[in-house]
Amino acid sequence: MADQYVLGSVLASVLALVVLYNLFVKRNARGESTADATKAATTAISGECRSKNGGGDDVDVIIVGAGVAGAALAHTLGKDGRRVHVIERDLTEPDRIVGELLQPGGYLKLIELGLEDCVENIDAQRVFGYALFKDGRNTRLSYPLEKFHSDVSGRSFHNGRFIQRMREKAATLPNVRLEQGTVTTLLEENGTIKGVQYKTKTGEELTAYAPLTIVCDGCFSNLRRSLCKPKVDVPSCFVGLVLENCELPYVNHGHVILADPSPILFYKISSTEIRCLVDVPGQKVPSISSGEMANYLKTMVASQIPPQLQDAFIAAIEKGNIRTMPNRSMPAAPQPTPGALLMGDAFNMRHPLTGGGMTVALSDIVVLRNLLKPLPDLNDAPTLCRYLESFYTLRKPVASTINTLAGALYQVFCASPDQALKEMRQACFDYLSLGGVFSTGPVSLLSGLNPRPLSLVLHFFAVAIYGVGRLLLPFPSPKRMWIGARLISGASGIILPIIKAEGVRQMFFPATVPAYYRAPPVNLSRGS
């Protein structure tokens, strides 16, 4: 009884810190007030935003790429009256094994952008939370959706269908032009990006000019090096399968199996299909063509998944449609360049374990839209560049929370021979299984509904403290105390490097960054 009291006291202390933090941030919700102030400052010119190009060009913004970020951005800026030219390498329906789960926070951004109908008529499945499996035990973690409209939830779907719907919606706007072509070069003059050079579908080389070029050409971007200093890490690869004629143990939930050596994911992508993603650590995976991959999946993976999915899993392997995708992680490292901006996976990536990529991209688009709204004229590139530096700070609450959680959870969820990390993994599972704030807190962070970096750090170290408490009760021994100390050290070693890469100041103290308060430039607001 005394043991439970001590452990309960530790958890209560952590919970009190979380509550105090929540009270503090509500009084200092700076991001929302900045957006409201920006919106209030909007200058309407015949209801549209227009740039006056001295060269006679009739384009305000060039968007390179029409994936999730590019297509959503094209529709958003086009709806605001911008003249948008989108250049996409391939306008046929994409076929990918990632980008198939949109968290509730991302769906709210979709509503804010007027794109919520893009998840309709594509057989998208509603997602209400996650089920976590470990060593024969399982726990269900529900999204805290009580305060939202009944339509708000996660969505899972075929990535290509979702992208095509957004492309079609963008193309309905008369001032948005979608063109198939491959951008080869950013056109630079005196340090300012003036436009792009690209090859059309027929191989013709053309140039296009605009006051602002936004690069959204995805994780394989060949243009990002001109606009940032990328440090791309590939911690693992996903092996993708589609299971048919079976049902998940928990309906309308994503499933995460804490397997050895790393997690396995399941979620529905249509009414008849279940996506399975097997994480394989490292950059090399068993060969598919030689049959090595099929053997690996049958002998190493199949026995670790829920029994009701095993027959469908083996059938999917036998069918042979096995695909792989490297999991990339890249902190946002902007190099502000007049006339250009990076967005989406070309700009910032995180491990896809938590399905947060599309939420970050859509949130970034909302931030950028609000910043650009007061500016009818985009032609003063240096002034616009200085103003848009605030974008990198205003995006941080959502982006850094999701990025940090994705990186930290992946490392915690991977199996390890280190006893301290084993204890951390078990502590994480048991902490989430406690229910109440111990599950809703972390799940609200993962879902993008509570983008608060400090809340994330508090919960992460609460898991570590919980793990130490379990080790020290009922009687601490020198060995257990040593493992506990290594557990705290290991937890710090996981999360602190991620925080450093995200930027401590922008992540936790954004109000100390001068660009945070930057108002719309007067000369751009009034037009030149």
Task: Share the mean pLDDT of the chain.
Answer: 90
Q: Where are the domains of the chain?
A: 61-122+157-231+330-379, 233-329, 403-507
Q: How far apart are CA 104 and CA 152, in angstroms?
A: 6
- The token pair at 345 is 């996976």
Q: List the one residue out of 320, 156, 349 whose CA is nearest residue 242.
A: 320
Q: Radius of gyration (Cα) for the chain, nearest Å?
A: 24
**61-122+157-231+330-379 CATH fold:** FAD/NAD(P)-binding domain (3.50.50)
pLDDT in tens, 356-412: 999 999 999 999 999 999 999 999 999 999 999 999 999 999 999 999 999 999 999
Query: What pLDDT shows up at residue 57?
Result: 57
Distance of CA 448 to the CA centre of its chain: 9
Q: How far apart are CA 517 and CA 525, in angstroms?
A: 16
Tell me yes or no: is domain 233-329 CATH 1.10.10: no
Residue 1 has pLDDT above 70, yes or no: no
Give, in degrees to the nearest 5, the angle at Cα 512 between 507 and 518. 100
Share of the chain above pLDDT 70, in %: 89
Under a CB-based contact definition with an 8 Å cutoff, are residues 521 and 390 in contact? no
pLDDT in tens, 290-316: 999 999 999 999 999 999 999 999 999
Distance of CA 412 to the CA centre of its chain: 18
233-329: same fold as 61-122+157-231+330-379? Answer: no
Residue 208 has pLDDT above 80, yes or no: yes
Look up the pTM and report it: 0.89
Return the minimum-mean-pLDDT range out of 256-260, 333-337, 428-432. Answer: 333-337
Please provide the DSSP assignment of 141-163 as one string. Answer: EE---TTS-TT-SEEE--HHHHH
